[in-house]
Homo-oligomer: A and B are copies of this chain.
Amino acid sequence: MAPVALETPTHINGASTPVSISKKAHAFDPATQHLPDIDPSKLTIKLSHELATVPAPETLTFGTIHTDHMLLLTFSPEAGWSAPSIQPYGPMSIDPMASCIQYATNIFEGMKAYMGADGRPRLFRPDLNMARMKRSADRLALPPFNEQALLELIKKLIMVEKRWIPSAPGCSLYIRPTMFGTRIGFGVTPSTSATLLIILSPSGPYFPGVVRPISLYAESRVRRAWPGGTGGHKLALNYAPTLRPTREASQQGYDQILWLFGEDDHLGEVGQMNAFVVLKRDDGSLDVITPPLDGTILPGVTRHSVLDLTRAHSPENAIPGLPADLVLHVQERYIPIAQLVEYSETGTLAEVFGVGTAAVLVPINRIGYGEEGKEIKIEGGANGFGPIARAVREELMAIQEARRPSIWSVPCDEE
Residues of A within 8 A of B (CB): 3, 7, 9, 11-16, 18-23, 26, 29, 52-56, 59, 61-68, 70, 89-97, 100-106, 108, 138-141, 174, 176, 178, 180-181, 185-191, 197, 199, 201, 208, 220-223, 226-230, 235-237, 239-244, 246-247, 250-251, 271-272, 358
With contacts A3-B3, A61-B22, A139-B244 known, is A174 near B186, CB below 8 A?
yes
Q: Chain B residues with Cβ under 8 A from A235's Cβ?
A: 104, 240-241
- Known interface pairs A21-B64, A139-B244, A140-B244; A11-B89 also in contact (CB < 8 Å): yes
**Given the interface contacts A20-B208, A101-B178, does A188 sit within 8 Å of B239 by beta carbon?**
yes
A226-B229, A228-B223, A247-B29 are known contacts. Are A66 and B239 too (CB-CB below 8 A)? no
A188 interface neighbour in B89, B186, B221, B272, Cβ under 8 Å: B272
Write 10 A-B pairs (CB below 8 A) sorted by A numbering.
A3-B91, A13-B68, A89-B96, A97-B201, A104-B240, A141-B244, A186-B358, A220-B228, A229-B241, A237-B237
Identify which of A26, A64, A141, A181 gathers the most chain B CB atoms within 10 Å of its CB.
A64
Which residues on the B side are within 8 Å of A104 (C-beta)?
104, 106, 235-237, 239-240
Contact A53 B13 (CB under 8 A): yes
Contact A64 B7 (CB under 8 A): no
Q: Is the CB of B94 within 8 A of A18?
A: no
Q: With A13-B55, A91-B96 given, name 17 new contacts (CB 8 A).
A: A9-B91, A13-B52, A18-B55, A63-B187, A92-B96, A93-B93, A101-B106, A102-B236, A103-B240, A104-B236, A104-B240, A140-B244, A186-B201, A191-B243, A226-B226, A226-B229, A235-B240
Write the nearest CB–CB distance from A8 to chain B, whole angstroms: 11
Asked if B7 contacts A91 (CB within 8 A), the reply is: yes
CA distance A18 to B223 in the complex (A): 35
A47 to chain B, nearest CB (A): 15
Q: Judging by beta carbons under 8 Å apart, are B237 and A228 in contact?
A: no
Q: Are B241 and A240 in contact (CB under 8 A)?
A: no
Residues of B near A181 (CB, < 8 A) are 240
Nearest CB to that of A243 among chain B residues? B141
B241 touches A237 (CB 8 A): yes
A93 touches B3 (CB 8 A): yes
Complex contact A243–B63 (CB within 8 A): no
By a CB distance below 8 angstroms, the chain B residues around A272 are 188
CA distance A202 to B137 in the complex (A): 31
Q: Say whether A20 contacts B229, CB under 8 Å.
A: no
State the CA gap A100–B99 with chains docked (Å).
11
* A101 CB contacts on chain B under 8 angstroms: 100, 106, 178, 180, 236
Of all chain B residues, the one with the shortest Cβ separation from A1 is B9
Given A92-B93, A103-B240, A176 contacting B180 (CB threshold 8 A): no
Please measure, in the bound complex, the distance between the C-alpha atom of A189 and the C-alpha atom of B227, giving whole angstroms. Answer: 25
A27: nearest residue on chain B (CB-CB)? B250
Question: Are B228 and A105 within 8 A (Cβ)?
Answer: no
Contact B244 A22 (CB under 8 A): no
CB pair A96 B229 closer than 8 Å: no
5 tightest A-B CB contacts, nearest first: A63-B186, A13-B52, A237-B237, A223-B228, A14-B53
